[in-house]
Every structure is written in C-alpha cells, then in structure tokens.
Amino acid sequence: MDTSPDILVVGLGAMGAATLLFASGQGLRVLGIDRYEPPHHHGSTHGESRITRVGVGEGAEYVPLVQRSHRLWRDLETATCTSLYHACGGLILGCGDAAPMHGQHHFLDSTVAVAEAFGIRHEVLDADTIAARWPQFQLTGAERGYFEPEAGYLRPEACVAAQLAQARLRGAEIHNGECLLEWSKDSRGIAVRTDRTTYRPGLVVFCLGAWLPGVVPAPLLRVTRQVLHWFDTERPEDYAADRFPIFIWNWGLHEGQVYYGFPDLGGGIKLATEGHVETDPNHVDRSVGQGEIEAFYRLHVRGRMRGVLPNIRRTATCLYTEAPGARFWIDRLADDGPIVVSACSGHGFKHSAAIGEAVAQWAISGVRPSVLLPFAAPPGDTASR
Ligand SMILES: Cc1cc2nc3c(=O)[nH]c(=O)nc-3n(C[C@H](O)[C@H](O)[C@H](O)COP(=O)(O)OP(=O)(O)OC[C@H]3O[C@@H](n4cnc5c(N)ncnc54)[C@H](O)[C@@H]3O)c2cc1C
C-alpha cells in the first residue's frame, strides 16, 4: 500500500505546525515530520515569548497577516482552552529622526505610518508622557514613542503545541524524530528520503527554519545566533504584564543600538538585542558566557531601566534565518516543486498562524493566495515568481 501523503510538511516549528493544522481536516492525507519533538529549543521558536504588534513597521504588506493571525490565535485559544496571546500593549521607542530596524531606516516613523494607513488604534507619545506612564524607563528626554494597545506577546511553545494537538485531532499524522535526508524531483514528481523511508507526496512544504539553506539553494539567507537574557528586578511587580508593555527601543541612531523586552512572566524580565554573528544550526555555540551577558547589560540596559539588576536568572540561544531587507521568502521552487517557507528575519512568529493558513490553502488549491504574493523569492534566489 502506498503510504505517501497528499501533503507532506517537513519541519514542525512555528510555520510547519500552522501549515499542518490548516492542511488537516480537509479530506487529504496530511503528514508532518520533524527531526526533533516540537515544540523544542533547537531552532527559532522557543524562549517563552514573542512580540506581536499590528502596526508592523517592517511594511504594510505584513499587516493582513498579523491581523488574521490575531483572530486565529483567539480561535485556537478557544478550541484548546489555552492562553496564547496577551495584549499587554506595546511601545516602540525611538530617538531623533532615523533609527534603523528590520530593513527600515525610520522604524518608528514607518510604524506610525502603517498604523495610520490601516486605522490601527495607537498613540504617539513624547518623552514626558512616556516617563509618567512607565517610570520603569529612564529616558533622556529626546525620545518619542508609539504605543499600541493591541500589541503584546505570544507564547511560542504553547502555540506550536496547541496547533499540533489540533492538527492531530483533525486527522494529521505526525512523526517526531524523523529527519529529512534529501529530496529530488523526477518525472513521477517529488521524492523525499528520510532516515525512515522514502515518500512520494502529492506536494511537499519545507518549513525548515535555519536548516532550510542546507536543503534548497538559498544563497541570500543568513543564519545568525541570538541570545535571550532573563534578569532579576528589584520589584518584579513593577514589570508585571498589567503594568509594563512589550517594547522595542532604538536608543541610538545606528544599527545595533536597539534592544527589546517583555514583562516579567514569573522568571525575570526577558531582554535581548539582535546578534549578527553567522552560524549554522548544527554547530551553533549554545553556551552564553558571563562576559557576553555583562556586555549586553552594560551597553543596553544600564542607565535605561530602573530596578533591573545585572543578576542573570537564565539565558537561551536561538536562531534567526535572515533574508535581505529582513523580509520573508515564501515561494514555490518551480511550478511542480516544493513550497518553501522561510519567514523569520527576527519578526516572523506573529504572522505564523496566517502564513500557515495561506500556505495550506496554496498546497490544497494550487493557487497562491494573494496575501503571500509580496514574499516571492528575494532576487538572486532560485525560486519561481
Ligand atoms: C531570539 C528570537 C527572537 C524572536 N522574536 C520575535 C518576536 O518577538 N516576534 C516575532 O514575530 N518573531 C520573532 N522571532 C522570529 C520567529 O520566532 C520566527 O519567525 C519563527 O520562530 C520561525 O519559525 P520556523 O518554523 O521558520 O523555524 P523553526 O521553528 O526553527 O522550525 C523549523 C523546524 O524544522 C525542523 N527540521 C529542520 N531540519 C529538519 C530535517 N532535516 N528533517 C525534519 N525536520 C527538520 C526543526 O527541528 C524545526 O522544528 C524571533 C526569533 C528568534 C530566534
């Protein structure tokens, strides 16, 4: 008997779990495989929390994805009785005119412009108002801010676990601990060889995160090591989610003079910046030295946040897969090839539910949903347009 599925999803992190969920329950044989046991801490989808915000300063083309995702997270919460999305509010802080982030030279201004264009509820605040509302921040007086009440954080591990559980309920098969070794295309279609068997799926979707460049030609994708820090605070209640928003703070005008953070969810306040050291997922240095922690605290935190102590509770390392301009790459390798989903660049999680839904629709219908059109292959890569 042929055990090959109609749709094979390889990689069940943020993008794969969502794709599997929306491909299942449609009368097709759907299989998802992952080399580990998701949710896990080897890829890009771990570390307790991810920022979500609707005024997406990275570009207007992302807004329909995050708006749809917010609906889908709420539906998933209802279906699974779990808590996934917390709208504690979000503050984007900038100083001066230009503060670069995620491919935008004026991240704060582009955030405000996107919010205005889409009628997203927000406030533009001066430094005095920010200081009065959130005395936790130590400002210079030159800052401006964008505050969005619908912004907040998602629980990435819980989102993936809930999506996979729901996908199973809808009839999807899931193989943990099964590793893709190679794939090929011939006159009979696509063959996917794993460490267990060879599949001849009707269609394959690669949601391989940082492992994607090892599987398809992707010369423009860079994999970088990221470090998350959880610090102690003098008064944890000052940083609780009912008093403190998620934030992104461009405290200087240059690349790298930015960090972001979350409320204290019970284990210290999580703070991080964006690292640029290239690595690969099988050899990344997972240890975080005391010197590295101290350098982060000295550069970004000291003198900027009241009552955040240099004592570290824990750290984690995670992987970005970055496309040029911090964009996503969601495309099909030729008309009859695999669909590839690379949606990270440090800001993909908030969109993952809607991306999975749209990719599943594409896999089932053969027609690329218009919401994905802006994310066709970056120039120089080999996918079709
Ligand atoms: C530190 C950090 C902070 C971030 N902050 C935010 C944020 O605040 N807001 C936001 O929106 N986004 C954020 N992001 C981005 C977001 O987390 C990513 O866009 C998202 O997690 C990417 O998911 P993925 O499915 O592409 O990758 P992954 O979740 O890593 O999934 C890839 C999967 O493929 C599997 N796999 C790999 N190779 C094979 C193989 N050969 N065979 C079988 N399975 C395989 C892996 O085991 C893995 O489960 C952040 C990312 C990081 C790293």
The CA–CA distances, whole Å, from 270 to 94, 129, 239 equal: 20, 24, 10
| Residues contacting residue 185 through CB under 8 Å, at least 6 positions apart | 191, 336, 337
- CATH number, domain at 271? 3.30.9.10
CB-based contact 145:94 (threshold 8 Å): yes
Measured CA to CA, the distance from residue 348 to residue 62 in angstroms comes to 10
> What's the pLDDT at 384?
40
Q: Decide: helix, strand or coil at residue 263.
A: coil
| Residues contacting residue 120 through CB under 8 Å, at least 6 positions apart | 54, 55, 63, 114, 148, 150
Measured CA to CA, the distance from residue 346 to residue 327 in angstroms comes to 9
Minimum CA distance residue for ligand 1 atom 20? 349
CB-based contact 50:160 (threshold 8 Å): no
Measured CA to CA, the distance from residue 291 to residue 312 in angstroms comes to 12
| Three-state secondary structure string covering 162-202 | HHHHHHHHCCCEEEECCCEEEEEEECCEEEEEECCCEECCC
Which atom of ligand 1 lies at the shortest distance from residue 45's CA? 21
213 lines ligand 1 (CB under 6 A): no
Q: How far is the CA of 237 from the centre of ligand 1 (A)?
A: 31
- DSSP line for 200-238: --SEEEE--GGGGGGTS--TT-EEEEEEEEEEEES-GGG
Tracing tokens 């509820």 back to the chain, one arrives at: 121
Q: pTM of whole model > 0.95? A: yes
> What's the pLDDT at 1?
47
Q: Is residue 119 part of a domain?
A: yes
Q: Is residue 133 part of a domain?
A: yes
> What's the pLDDT at 178?
98
The dihedrals phi and psi of 251, each to the nearest 5 degrees, come to -85, -10
Q: How many domains does the chain have?
A: 1
Minimum CA distance residue for ligand 1 atom 23? 14
Q: Is residue 255 part of a domain?
A: yes
Measured CA to CA, the distance from residue 294 to residue 126 in angstroms comes to 30
Which atom of ligand 1 lies at the shortest distance from residue 350's CA? 11
| Residues contacting residue 287 through CB under 8 Å, at least 6 positions apart | none
Q: Is residue 64 part of a domain?
A: no
Minimum CA distance residue for ligand 1 atom 4? 346
Measured CA to CA, the distance from residue 298 to residue 308 in angstroms comes to 12
Low-confidence ranges of the chain (pLDDT < 70): 1-2, 378-385
> What's the pLDDT at 383?
47
> What's the pLDDT at 255?
84
Residue-number span of the structural domain to which 307 is assigned? 89-151+222-321
Token pair recorded at residue 291: 């010197």
CA-wise closest residue to 89 among 155, 154, 148:
148
> What's the pLDDT at 251?
94
Q: Is residue 342 part of a domain?
A: no
CB-based contact 149:143 (threshold 8 Å): no
> What's the pLDDT at 303?
97
> What's the pLDDT at 254?
86
- DSSP line for 21-76: HHHTTSSS-EEEEESS-SS-SSSSS-SS-EEE-SS-TT-GGGHHHHHHHHHHHHHH
Helices 352-365 and 63-80: crossing angle in degrees, nearest 10, is: 90
> What's the pLDDT at 385?
35
Residue 112: half-sphere exposure toward Cβ, Cα within 13 Å = 14
Q: Is residue 234 part of a domain?
A: yes
Which atom of ligand 1 lies at the shortest distance from residue 178's CA? 43
Q: Is residue 210 part of a domain?
A: no
Q: Is residue 256 part of a domain?
A: yes
Measured CA to CA, the distance from residue 218 to residue 383 in angstroms comes to 9
Measured CA to CA, the distance from residue 116 to residue 322 in angstroms comes to 28
> What's the pLDDT at 358?
98
